Amino acid sequence: METLVYLLYGMLGVIIGSLLSILPGLHPLNFAGIGIFLYLAFPMDPLGMALIFAGMLIAYAIVGTITTTFMGSPDDSTMYMAFPNQKYLMYGRGYEASVATGIGSMGSVVLLLMLAPFASTIFPIFRKLLTPHFHWVLIGVTVYILQSEWPKDWGSRAKTRFGRLKDGWASLSAGWVTFFLAMMLGFIVLNVPITPIDKAFQNIMPVFVGFFAVPWVLTNMASRVNIPPQTVSNTFYISKKDLARGTTSGFLGGMFAAYQPIVTAGIGGVLAGHSTSTQGDVQFMISGSAGRFAYYVGAFFLFWVPLLHLTRGGMAWITGVIYQPRTDSEFWLLMAAIAVAAVFAFMLLVFLSRVVAKVIAGFSFKKISIAVLIGIILLVFWFSGLEGLVILTIATGLGLVPPMFRTRRLNLILGFFFPIFLNMAGLGAGISRFLGVY
C-alpha cells in the first residue's frame, strides 16, 4: 500500500502541468524538455517522475482547454475545436464550453481505462500488422486530408463552367500550396540544425507555435471584440447523444493518432470525424477534447503496455531516458494514477473555468491577444533563442495562409511532417540531398 504515494505523484504532475498549460503556446514537447530540467534539478524515483510526467500530460489535455477557450491560443490538437469554443465564449457560454470539453476528456479517460485490460493483447497484434504499412498509410492519410476538403462557398456561383471549376479547386489548391510550403520548411527544419545546439530538442516548437497559435492570436487581435459576461451554471445545454458520439469519435481519432507515428490529434480527429459523421459544434468540441486526451495520454499509455514496446510522443521518448516500465504492476499503477489524476484535473478545470469565466467578462480580446502574443514570443525566445524567433516568423507567415485562403490548417502539419513519411518510405534522404539540406 506504500505505493499509494505514487498516485500523489500523478496529482503533483497535474498541478505542474496546469500551471504550464495556462501559458499559451506551450506544447507537451516543451513539457518534455521541462521534464528533463525537473529531473536534473530534483533527481528522484524514476517511476515517481514518470507519473509526474503522466500528470502533466493529463493536465495539458484537460486543464489546457481553458487557454483555448478563454484566450484563443490553440495548438495543432486544439485547432480542431478552437472555433466552436470561442463561439461559445462569445455567446457567454465559455464556462459551459470549457466544462463540456472536460467532460469529453473524461469520456476519453473512461474509454482508455476500459481498453487497458486488453491492451497487451491487441496492440502487439496491431503493431505486427500495421508497422510494415506505416509509410503508405501515412501518405494515404495525407492525400485524403488534402483532397477531402470541401469546396468553400465564395458567396456567388460562377457563371461559367471554368469559373465553377476554378472555385471548386480554389480551396483545394490553396491546401496543396500550404502543404508544399510547409513541406519545404519541414525539409529544412528537420534536416538542418537551426536552433542552438543546447536547445536543439526544442527545434520544432517555434514551427508549431507559428503554424497555429500566432496566426490565431493575430486573427483575434484583428477582431476587436470584447468578451461578453459569461454564464456560470451547473446545467449545460448539451445532449448526452452529442457527448457519447463526440467522445467515441474523438477517442478513435486520438488513439489512431497516438498509435500512428507523425499523425497528430487534429488529423486523427478529422479522419475519425469523417468516418463517424461527427456533426455540429458540440460534437466537434467534445470529440476534439476526447481526441486530444487520447492522443497525448494514449501515446504515453502505449509506452507502458506490457510487451508492446512502443514509444510514441515526445513525453514517452523523454521518459524512456530515465525510466522503463518494468512490470505489469507498474502498468496498472499508471492506469490507477491516470484515473485519479484525470479526476483531479477535471476538478481543477471546473474550478479554474469558473474563476476565469467570472473575471474575464469585459476584457478586450485584443488586449488579451497582445498579452498572449508577447508571452508566446518570450517563451519561444527562451526555449529556442533568436533562431527560434526567425523560424517562428516564417512559420507564422505560412500559418496565415490557411485562414486567408480558407483551407485547412492541418495541411501545415501534414506538409511539415511529410519529409518523415518519405524517410519511412526510403525516399527522404534522396530528396533532401536534391534540395541541398542533407
Positions touching other proteins (CB under 8 A) are 1, 3-4, 7, 88, 91-93, 96, 99-100, 102-103, 106-107, 109-110, 113-114, 116, 124, 127-128, 231, 233-240, 242-243, 281, 306-307, 309, 324-330, 332-333, 335-340, 342-343, 346-347, 350
Q: How far is the CB of 110 from other proteins (least distance, A)?
A: 6
d(CA 40, CA 36): 6
Question: At residue 312, what is the residue type?
Answer: R
Q: Which residues contact 199 (CB under 8 A, 6 or more apart)?
A: 383, 384, 385, 388
Q: How far is the CB of 41 from other proteins (least distance, A)?
A: 23
Specify whether the CB–CB gap between 227 and 88 falls below 8 A. no
d(CA 208, CA 182): 11
User: Of 218 and 350, which has the nearer Cβ to other proteins?
Assistant: 350
User: Of 58 and 412, which has the nearer Cβ to other proteins?
Assistant: 58
Q: How far is the CB of 358 from other proteins (least distance, A)?
A: 15
The H or E element spanning position 2 is: none
Q: How far is the CB of 252 from other proteins (least distance, A)?
A: 19
d(CA 57, CA 54): 5
Question: At residue 277, what is the residue type?
Answer: S
d(CA 79, CA 424): 27
d(CA 292, CA 66): 14
User: Of 211 and 344, which has the nearer Cβ to other proteins?
Assistant: 344
Q: Under DSSP, is residue 364 helix (H, G, I), strand (E, B) or coil?
A: strand
User: Of 167 and 281, which has the nearer Cβ to other proteins?
Assistant: 281
Question: At residue 52, what is the residue type?
Answer: I
Specify whether the CB–CB gap between 293 and 109 falls below 8 A. yes
User: Of 304 and 418, which has the nearer Cβ to other proteins?
Assistant: 304
User: Of 170 and 424, which has the nearer Cβ to other proteins?
Assistant: 424
User: Of 211 and 331, which has the nearer Cβ to other proteins?
Assistant: 331
Single out the residue of 99, 398, 106 nearest to residue 250, CA to CA. Answer: 106
Specify whether the CB–CB gap between 303 and 312 falls below 8 A. yes
DSSP assigned state of 132: G
User: Of 109 and 376, which has the nearer Cβ to other proteins?
Assistant: 109
User: Of 336 and 370, which has the nearer Cβ to other proteins?
Assistant: 336
Q: How far is the CB of 395 from other proteins (least distance, A)?
A: 33
d(CA 236, CA 302): 33
Angle at CA of residue 286, ends 274 and 6, nearest 5° = 120
Bridge partners, 364 (sequence order): 226
In the block, cell 534539478 appears at 41
The H or E element spanning position 112 is: helix 94-130
User: Of 98 and 407, which has the nearer Cβ to other proteins?
Assistant: 98
Q: How far is the CB of 329 from other proteins (least distance, A)?
A: 4
Q: How far is the CB of 124 from other proteins (least distance, A)?
A: 7
Specify whether the CB–CB gap between 308 and 116 falls below 8 A. no
In the block, cell 496492440 appears at 123
Distances (CA, A) of 421 to 64, 183, 371, 418: 29, 11, 37, 5
DSSP assigned state of 226: B
d(CA 146, CA 172): 7
Q: How far is the CB of 265 from other proteins (least distance, A)?
A: 21
Q: How far is the CB of 340 from other proteins (least distance, A)?
A: 5
Specify whether the CB–CB gap between 102 and 349 falls below 8 A. yes
Bridge partners, 351 (sequence order): none
User: Of 113 and 370, which has the nearer Cβ to other proteins?
Assistant: 113
